[in-house]
Structure 1
């Protein structure tokens, strides 16, 4: 059941996505898919069979047999929906399009966010807008719409276009992949991706510890929002990786936010002294005014006196690329050690 905060969190996330500040404010590739063995590239998650099928344009005979068949599916907010067994034309409206891409499903319609690591793969996907454009959706002739929102009024309108299911884009990555694997008839692909991802994540943290990352080190993630507003990230995007299994620790103040299931919180510059960890991660914003605010922050005495800054343990990530979807996670598994190992 979704909390009142989660509702507010989701609406804020979508609004920020539209303003191009990243799905990371809440929330949380092709570049990650290489031929290098996992042992040589711990951050690499192998390309799964779904991706191979997409690239070759082939479809299994089992999938062909399922085309046109339907089944019942109970969605995130409790609707029981008659959906295709093997959807052919999917619209995904939400923050984690990369989850579908990782399963080899390229939606015909998406909530477009420029600058994602998988942009090339969704270049032909239609932007269905924010709010969701029913008119654009009708023109795409979808057989399934996945709607990452709990707004019943919007759902009622959208569900008139095609079978529509709600989807919790702020569930854990593993939960999301399994749900989508079930919904899209990609269960095995989802399990394969999860297994490869878990292995790659373990290898990445081992590599970082082999290069000086100590057990119990704390991390904090900050970003500037237009209007000179400073946010600390907690339960979405990059922090989900940092605070995951075998990873780093949140500081006590960030742990409080996590305990309250908060994705982020606005703070004062002075508050950074209480929140900053042994290592600091900065999500570089998109807009010019937020970039200027970031520069001013780093010129401040508060910033310069933080222990992590003095120790040179500050790392910068593009806020759009460092998102919480599966494809962005693959990218982060490579990018994190590249930045942290000097």
Structure 2
């Protein structure tokens, strides 16, 4: 898969990541960042390797908190962030404990919403209730964002911590680490193969459209601003799309722009804007779509501004969904 460099701050990354925990409206108000849109020279997990344990039924895995003894194949996993839960679902594992708000029909595919809606909650993202966690009798706790908050939970069960907050890792690198932690590398291999197959199909069928167009993902923001870039950019690059609007081959990050700077979109033949899973834009994105300056952008006037439900990127299910949406857009060019 392609690698691209993103320029954004840690605060911007957390604004997007934290947004998945709140309502879809809160997500729009907090803004979107390019989580998972950064460069890495090694696509293999940097700290997720495992080795067989010597006491039958456990293994030692390398985490960003050092070596941790985990079950050979974890079954009862508690997660501290919604992204962790979505990655586990891709691996065929429904967690037994998730943060408040993990099941949100507005920002999740129906199948994944149905899988999470009945799961016990353990408090707000990043603020786990230790008693609630212990009551679930987990055999493993997964964390990618809250090192200080998850560390004390090791008295309940092993904690596998993989820093996604500041590491700059791509989403597919993070899910590979989690796959090793829970012993489901084979399931990950199947998911990755399905994604790469869809990429190949779309690249072959629409090679001309891909080669002759320039694209940009964007969303509305508060205070008369919009945001260029999104986690969707990783998939767009994997499809082979060229990004415009100043999001060059080594920059695809979270970039705030005022409405008065909408001229930056003039070099784009196609625009992708975010919508919720009910098909409706968030309030701030709707404000953008209603703005006169937006309606005068060449791609918009040409009918080449398309909605995407897969604007965040958490797992291969999201990525395949994004490829399907992009194929639908390419058909219309």
The normalised TM-score by structure 1 is 0.73
Aligned partners of 2:85 and 2:134: how far apart in 1? Answer: 20
Aligned partners of 1:108 and 1:27: how far apart in 2? Answer: 29
The change in CA–CA distance for 1:339 and 1:73 in structure 2 (over 3 A counts) is same
The change in CA–CA distance for 1:122 and 1:299 in structure 2 (over 3 A counts) is closer
- Counterpart of 1:301 in structure 2 is 292
Aligned partners of 1:280 and 1:300: how far apart in 2? Answer: 15
1:172 to 137, 158, 170: 170
The change in CA–CA distance for 1:5 and 1:143 in structure 2 (over 3 A counts) is farther
The question of 1:232 aligning with 2:228 is answered yes
Q: Cα distance, 1:20 vs. partner?
A: 2.6
Asked whether the equivalents of residues 67 and 86 of structure 1 are also in contact (C-alpha less than 8 Å), the reply is: no
The change in CA–CA distance for 1:266 and 1:183 in structure 2 (over 3 A counts) is same
User: 80-89 vs 330-339, which deviates more?
Assistant: 330-339
Counterparts of 1:131-150 in structure 2, within 5 Å, are: 131-134=126-129, 135-149=131-145
Q: Residue 253 of structure 1 aligns to a residue in which SS?
A: coil
Residues matched between the structures, number:
292
The question of 1:158 aligning with 2:169 is answered no
The change in CA–CA distance for 1:147 and 1:11 in structure 2 (over 3 A counts) is same
Aligned partners of 1:278 and 1:297: how far apart in 2? Answer: 18
1:81 to 47, 61, 68: 68
After superposition, the CA RMSD in angstroms is: 3.3
Q: Cα distance, 1:233 vs. partner?
A: 1.8
The change in CA–CA distance for 1:203 and 1:96 in structure 2 (over 3 A counts) is farther
2:11 to 8, 23, 42: 8
Q: Residue 194 of structure 2 aligns to a residue in which SS?
A: helix
Q: Residue 196 of structure 1 aligns to a residue in which SS?
A: helix
- Counterpart of 1:242 in structure 2 is 236
Q: Cα distance, 1:324 vs. partner?
A: 3.5
The normalised TM-score by structure 2 is 0.75
Q: Cα distance, 1:96 vs. partner?
A: 4.8
Aligned partners of 1:4 and 1:340: how far apart in 2? Answer: 28
The change in CA–CA distance for 1:241 and 1:168 in structure 2 (over 3 A counts) is farther
- Counterpart of 1:69 in structure 2 is 57
The change in CA–CA distance for 1:297 and 1:175 in structure 2 (over 3 A counts) is closer
Aligned partners of 1:98 and 1:205: how far apart in 2? Answer: 27
